[in-house]
Amino acid sequence: MAVAAAAAIVLAVALLVIAVPKFLENELKGTLEDTLVRRAADVARLNATAPGQLTAPGALEGSLAGSTLFVQVVDKSGRIVVRSSGLGGRVIDAGAAGNRALKDRQASFADSSLGPDALRVYAAPLGELGQGEASGGAVIVAGSLADIEQTLNHTRRLVALCALVAALVAAALATLLTRRALRPLTTLSSGARDIARSGDVAERLPEARTHDEVAELAGTLNAMLASLERAREAEHRFVGDASHELRTPLTALRGNAAYIARHGADPAVLADIEAGAERLSELLDDLLALAREDAAAPAHGEPVALSELAVGADEVIVEREVWASVERPALERAVENLVRNARKHGSGKVTITVGGEDGEAFIRVEDEGPGPAPGEPVFERFARGAGAQGEGSGLGLAIVKAIAERHGGRVTVDGSKFTLAVKELSRSARTTP
């Protein structure tokens, strides 16, 4: 914007530099031409009192007193009859304008010169000036262009000076506006350098209250920093979770390996090692899944009928068909974890119910057991029920919670009923797979 304003000022100044002298030149020449026409009429009245007769030169000189104009009167053959004393022995060369006045009986203007001086010449037949056709002569009046040229030169210098001042003002204004416009960018750049230097992605760049490109850039950079912060937190959490949870099974494996080294292979010990290895594999799978959910961006899914995800249960009840925009593999894993949790920690038949209410589509998994105790943090990482006795990784329900939240939904528990709810997709927004 600042550059555009400065460019507009420079363009306006350039137009003024060209237009003002040209306009003034046209005005001054127009004024001179009007004067020449009036003077020619005056001279014609003085020098032709009757057809074919010319008055004495004294009358002509009296009419030109104090004037800078040159006048000469010619007869129909072009012979000079009378002329102003300022001409001396010189002759005004009217050129084509003189010929038109004598032969075509038409008045016109022409440019000429008298020595070093440029002239503007007006030639008119005496008949055109009201003196009759019989005289057949013409009056030629000329005015010097020197004064006009001097005025124009002075004006050009003045306009050039004004243009220079205007250009300097425009440059200063452009610099000021540019600095002001770039100040938010400078602030962003400085803040970004500080964050890069410190490595603290929890810091945020200042966001302006305006709704321009700079504010949008600041918001985008802060969103990127938030994503980096989530990724770093997920990395730290993964490392912490892995180091904490892998310690126990690895210790057991080392103990069993030492026992075999001392006492030889024992089927019970080998079975224990195999079970430990399976638990390690399950734990690593869940840790990686949870880390991916922690670092992932908000879900960008596809329309899916939730009844298609209701698998693995003893009974499926579809209260009504509901659709949601979800990442199918993630929701499949969430439902699988809920069913596995019901089978592992519940009792009796496992039922999946699909339905919708209050703008939400839900999948509910329940068994016939009592469910966790009220207030038990079942969705926390590594949370295990009181009777679980270390079975499972303790991450299954935490993964369900992470998947639900990434989809803008939620997961709740009421006794043995675990409900995963996401925003229901309206009929107009669906596309049939």
pLDDT digits (tens, 9 = 90+) for 16-70: 778 777 888 788 888 888 988 888 887 777 655 544 444 545 555 555 545 678 8
In the chain, residues under CATH classification 3.30.450.20 are 2-152
Tokens 């009840």, residue located: 317
d(CA 55, CA 59) in angstroms, rounded, equals: 7
In the chain, residues under CATH classification 1.10.287.130 are 213-295
- Amino acid 51: pLDDT: 47
At residue 295, what is the residue type? A
Residue 134 near residue 62 (C-beta atoms within 8 A): no
Q: How many CB atoms lie within 10 A of CB 87?
A: 15
Q: 164-173, 289-298, 313-322: which has the minimum mean pLDDT?
A: 289-298
pLDDT in tens, 132-166: 444 578 888 988 888 888 888 888 888 888 888 87
> How is residue 69 written in tokens?
């104009």
- By CB atoms closer than 10 A (0-12, 13-18, 19+), residue 337 is buried
**DSSP-derived 3-state class of residue 183:** helix
Cα 415 to the center of its chain, rounded Å? 54
CATH-assigned architecture of domain 2-152? 2-Layer Sandwich (3.30)
**DSSP-derived 3-state class of residue 208:** coil
Nearest Cα residue to 422 out of 330, 315, 291: 330
pTM score = 0.46
Give 3-state DSSP helix, strand, coil % of the chain, rounded to 5: 55, 15, 30
At residue 323, what is the residue type? W
Round the CA-based radius of gyration of the chain to a whole number and report it: 51
Which of the following CATH numbers is that of domain 302-429: 3.30.70.20, 3.40.30.10, 3.30.565.10, 3.30.300.30?
3.30.565.10
CATH of domain 213-295: 1.10.287.130
Q: Which helix (H) or strand (E) holds 302?
A: strand 302-305
> pLDDT: is 67 or 200 the higher one?
200
